[in-house]
Structure 1
Amino acid sequence: MKIALNISALIMIMSCQTNEKKSFDKFNVDHTISKNDTIKLLSNFPELKLFKSQIVESKSRTAYIVQTVSGYNITAKFDNYKSNAVIKDDTLNISLNNSNGYFGNGILIKVFDRQYFIKDFDPKTLKEEEKFLPSKAIVQKLTLNENHFKKNDSIYGAIYYHATVDHHIYKEMKGYFRTKIK
Structure 2
Amino acid sequence: MKPTLYFIFILIFCLSTVSCKKEKKIQQNFGKFVVDEGLPQNDTIKLLSKYPELKLYKKEKLESKTRTAYIIQTTVLFQTDKYKCNAVSKNDTLEILLNNNNGLYGNGVLIKVFDDHFFIKDIDPKTLHGEIKFMKTKPVYQKLVLDNNSFQKNDTVYGFIDYNTKVENFTKDFRGYFRALVK
Q: Do both share a fold (TM > 0.5)? A: yes
Check conservation: 1:20, 1:135, Cα contact below 8 A. no
Contact 1:83/1:95 (8 A) holds in 2: yes
Matches within 5 A, 1:34-113: 34-70=40-76, 75-113=77-115
Gaps of 5+ in 1: 1-17
TM-score by length of 2: 0.84
Deviations 1:120-175 (A, max 9, x none): 0010234542200001110000000001111111000000000012x312100110
Q: Which runs of 4+ in 1 moved over 4 A?
A: none
Q: Which residue of 1 aligns with 2:143?
A: 141
CA distance in 2, matches of 1:113, 1:149: 11
Give the superposition deviation at 1:69: 1.4
* Secondary structure in 2 matching 1:177: strand
Under a length normalisation based on structure 1, what TM-score does the superposition of the two structures give? 0.85
Q: Cα deviations across residues 88-143 of structure 1 (Å, max 9, x unaligned)?
A: 11111000000101111100000011000000001023454220000111000000
* Alpha-carbon distance between aligned partners in 1 of 2:170 and 2:53, rounded to the nearest angstrom: 29
Hey, what does 2:173 align to over in structure 1? 172
Larger relative strand fraction: 1
Q: 1:42 to 1:141 in 2, by over 3 A?
A: same
Identity of aligned residues (%): 54
2:78 is paired with a residue whose SS is: strand
Stretches of structure 2 that go unaligned for 5 or more consecutive residues are: 1-23
What RMSD over aligned residues (CA atoms) do the two structures have, in Å? 1.2
Does the 8 Å contact 1:63/1:175 carry over to 2? Answer: yes
Offset at 1:19?
5.7
> Does the Cα contact within 8 Å between 1:22 and 1:136 map onto a contact in 2?
no
Relative contact order: is structure 1 or structure 2 higher (C-alpha 8 Å, sep ≥ 6)? 1
Q: What aligned pairs does 1:109-124 form with structure 2 within 5 A after superposition?
A: 109-124=111-126
- 2:104, 2:130 within 8 Å by CA — same for their partners in 1? no
Structure 2: distance between partners of 1:125 and 1:160? 25
1:181 aligns with 2:182: yes
Q: Matches of 2:128 and 2:178 in 1, distance apart?
A: 23
